[in-house]
Structure 1
Amino acid sequence: MNTATTPKAQIPDISAQITYAMRSMGVAPIPRNYELFYEAYIGSNPTLTRDLAALGSKATQDELDEIGQQYFGNHQNRVVESAHSKIVSELDGLLRLLKQEQTSLESYNKLLGETYTRISSKNNTSADILRSAITLLSEATGDTMAHGSQTVEQVSQKSQEMDQVRKELDEYKRIANTDSLTRIANRRAFDERLASIYNATSSAPLTGLVLADIDNFKKINDTYGHPVGDKILATVATVIRANVRKDCFVARTGGEEFAIIVEGHSAEEVNLMCERVRTALETTPFKNSRTGVNYGPITLSLGFCMAGEAEDPGELYAKSDIALYCAKNAGRNRTKIFEDGMKKDFTKSWLIYKR
């Protein structure tokens, strides 16, 4: 791995400070809350910072969500509203085409009726009947076929335009739900996926939530600088993605923290997967090919809980987080599954994430 080598010993580990601040204030460590505190911490939006500070240390989740909707929901709403307007416009045009087609068919049906009336009339000769019928049917059929062909072409065009709007929405959602650094899912996407785990309760016993944290990442950033840390984060994401099933959901949930949602696996199988990821990363070289500086080994601590052991997404996340804490506290570079006994011994010394 080719990375920069300029030391930046005084740069703080922002993600650790944000996480610690959230937990000190009793704020649930879920991705949408992290997004709020991150924006407030870096000071890119002073109004947001003031509104968040005004909540004090007793902020409820509803209050936090209200601020999140106020500051992060507007852009998404504008995109969706624009796409909605386009779709409504295209559908309106399509309905007009179909109504025109209906009118054309009604006219054609009327002409067929007139032709039948003339054929049935006893006042005309056979030659007159045939000549009249052929003329009417030829004109009516030709006009209807031409109009029908034009309608088909216009309907096809409308369909293509609506499909383009759909693709634009899909692309927007992909970008909005992708972490720009690691190219895997981000906190927003994880939050949505986590919330959906209990939609189908029958699959919960075979669904696991894995939380993973790069060991001693603050030291890496302090020693080698954030450019090196960023490349390490990207490589870690690649290693995780390469060592889990394609249908596993993998996200970067904040700083050096990652999450994996595994479906259709027993606890034993989830544990084996975690160990495969951990071992693969432990043996991955992290070296600057130009200078020869070795940044490794880079290791992960992982904690997980099966969805059947929790009542809802919040409890599942909390229990997986406790298991991750215990993996850190036991010496790092290991996997822990949540057990009820962990609650008794668990003390919220979240400072371990800063070391």
Structure 2
Amino acid sequence: MLSLDDLEPDHATSVSKHALQLMAELEVPATPPNFTVWFAYVLGRSAALRKTIDILRSNDRKFDKALNRELYNTFLKSTGSVGEVAQTISGELDAILVNVRNDVAGAIADSAAHSEELMEVGRTLRTANDPQLALKRLADELTRATERASALEAKLVEASGELGDLRKSLEQAELRSRTDALTGLANRGAMESFLRTAQINAMESGDSLSVFLIDVDHFKKFNDTYGHQLGDQVLRLVAKCLQEGIRDGDLAARYGGEELIGILPGAPLTITQEIAERVRTRIASANVKKRATGELIGQVTISAGVAQFKPGESFEALIERCDQALYRAKQSGRNCTIGSDD
């Protein structure tokens, strides 16, 4: 959440006044979450929030209840996601590794300087009465200095390996936190994050952005007739066809239950319909066999609804239009793709 602790009182007052003035001008209800959004906007610490609101204002978008809630949930509500934690820790590990390297480099430099000093001592002691003893002492000191440097270098190698293993574990944990365990596609959280970023980019660039939602036809029948294991097998098949049917840079995700979603940045409605239709036909042509017995189950089909993003449209509104198109596909006999009329 936004904190005022690190702001000077006069600056906080000025920012608050400006935020309230903007809220009044744009007819934004004066609620605590809304004030938090507009305070953060005026403060300017979130570049993504400022960019989004600037685009919405330039498009004369009305900041209604739904849009204000979307802004708050997207940019200011504390989620505590594993991905954010992993990213933070990963940055800390970088800092630790840099510190270790600097310590070793400094120690080696000190050792080299010390060795040079000892060499000078050696040159001086050569004129002494017992030069052999002086040189032995010098050699011993140089050996100890070299051993210290070697030990520090070994510690660096060990620390680097441990940090590398830990970072790899964190990256794997973050990947698991963003992946649906059953289908291997992006999960709901990763999908929402990707789509919101794609919406901002589309508004900024003016490029198209489209989404298609697919649902397995008569999915309950598979579970009731053949059991949940076959239902899971069907979902994995549909997920595989979806992933293989979209383009590089697109995202395939599990939206929920037997519903999957494809998000296509840069694609207009017509292109997205073609891709959704390609996925549909690929699924319909697949042969599904029960793994335990080899029994041929029959055809699996999906219905798909497609919608193109409208600048300033909320996440919920875009998905709702997609879902409405999907419903019309179901009503039209299933196993078809229908685009949004809106």
Bin of the TM-score, shorter chain as denominator length? 0.5 to 0.7
Residue 317 of structure 1 aligns with which residue? 319
| In 2: Cα distance, 1:125 partner to 1:90 partner | 46
Residue 255 of structure 1 aligns with which residue? 257
SS at 1:180 equivalent: coil
| In 2: Cα distance, 1:161 partner to 1:301 partner | 49
Residue 149 of structure 2 aligns with which residue? 148
Residue 275 of structure 1 aligns with which residue? 277
RMSD (Å) for aligned C-alpha atoms: 4.3
| In 2: Cα distance, 1:135 partner to 1:291 partner | 82
The one-letter amino acid paired with 1:238 is K
| In 1: Cα distance, 2:296 partner to 2:289 partner | 4
- Deviation of 1:148 (Å): 2.9
Label 1:134 to 1:269 Cα distance change in 2 as closer, same or farther (>3 A). farther
Label 1:304 to 1:143 Cα distance change in 2 as closer, same or farther (>3 A). farther
| In 2: Cα distance, 1:316 partner to 1:125 partner | 85
The one-letter amino acid paired with 1:106 is D
The one-letter amino acid paired with 2:103 is K
SS at 1:205 equivalent: coil
Task: Give yes or no for contact 1:87–1:162 (8 Å, CA) kept in 2.
Answer: no
| In 1: Cα distance, 2:199 partner to 2:243 partner | 24
Residue 99 of structure 1 aligns with which residue? 103
Task: Give yes or no for contact 1:115–1:136 (8 Å, CA) kept in 2.
Answer: no
Label 1:310 to 1:339 Cα distance change in 2 as closer, same or farther (>3 A). farther
SS at 2:288 equivalent: coil
SS at 2:211 equivalent: strand
Task: Give yes or no for contact 2:179–2:185 (8 Å, CA) kept in 1.
Answer: yes
Label 1:277 to 1:151 Cα distance change in 2 as closer, same or farther (>3 A). same
| In 2: Cα distance, 1:292 partner to 1:107 partner | 71
| In 1: Cα distance, 2:310 partner to 2:140 partner | 71
Residue 184 of structure 2 aligns with which residue? 183
| In 2: Cα distance, 1:125 partner to 1:61 partner | 80
Residue 211 of structure 2 aligns with which residue? 209
Say which structure, 1 or 2, has more relative contact order (CA 8 Å, 6+ apart).
1
SS at 1:178 equivalent: coil
- Deviation of 1:155 (Å): 1.3
- Deviation of 1:279 (Å): 0.7
The one-letter amino acid paired with 1:226 is H
Identity %: 27
| In 1: Cα distance, 2:178 partner to 2:221 partner | 29
| In 1: Cα distance, 2:289 partner to 2:116 partner | 82
| In 2: Cα distance, 1:298 partner to 1:93 partner | 52
SS at 2:253 equivalent: strand
Task: Give yes or no for contact 2:100–2:156 (8 Å, CA) kept in 1.
Answer: no
Label 1:184 to 1:195 Cα distance change in 2 as closer, same or farther (>3 A). same
TM-score by length of 2: 0.61
1:90-114 CA-partner distances (Å, limit 9, x unpaired): 9658736743652553364356367
Label 1:88 to 1:309 Cα distance change in 2 as closer, same or farther (>3 A). closer
The one-letter amino acid paired with 1:234 is R
Label 1:143 to 1:207 Cα distance change in 2 as closer, same or farther (>3 A). farther
| In 2: Cα distance, 1:163 partner to 1:143 partner | 30
| In 2: Cα distance, 1:125 partner to 1:157 partner | 39
Label 1:232 to 1:203 Cα distance change in 2 as closer, same or farther (>3 A). farther
Most deviating of 95-104 and 207-216: 95-104
Label 1:203 to 1:259 Cα distance change in 2 as closer, same or farther (>3 A). farther
Residue 113 of structure 2 aligns with which residue? 109
Task: Give yes or no for contact 1:97–1:151 (8 Å, CA) kept in 2.
Answer: no
| In 2: Cα distance, 1:286 partner to 1:274 partner | 20
Most deviating of 103-112 and 212-221: 103-112
The one-letter amino acid paired with 2:148 is H
Q: How does 1:273-312 map to 2 (within 5 A)?
A: 273-288=275-290, 294-308=296-310, 311-312=313-314
TM-score by length of 1: 0.59
Label 1:294 to 1:113 Cα distance change in 2 as closer, same or farther (>3 A). closer
| In 2: Cα distance, 1:136 partner to 1:204 partner | 76
Q: How does 1:97-176 map to 2 (within 5 A)?
A: 98-99=102-103, 101-103=105-107, 105-106=109-110, 108-109=112-113, 112=116, 142-176=143-177
Residue 193 of structure 2 aligns with which residue? 192
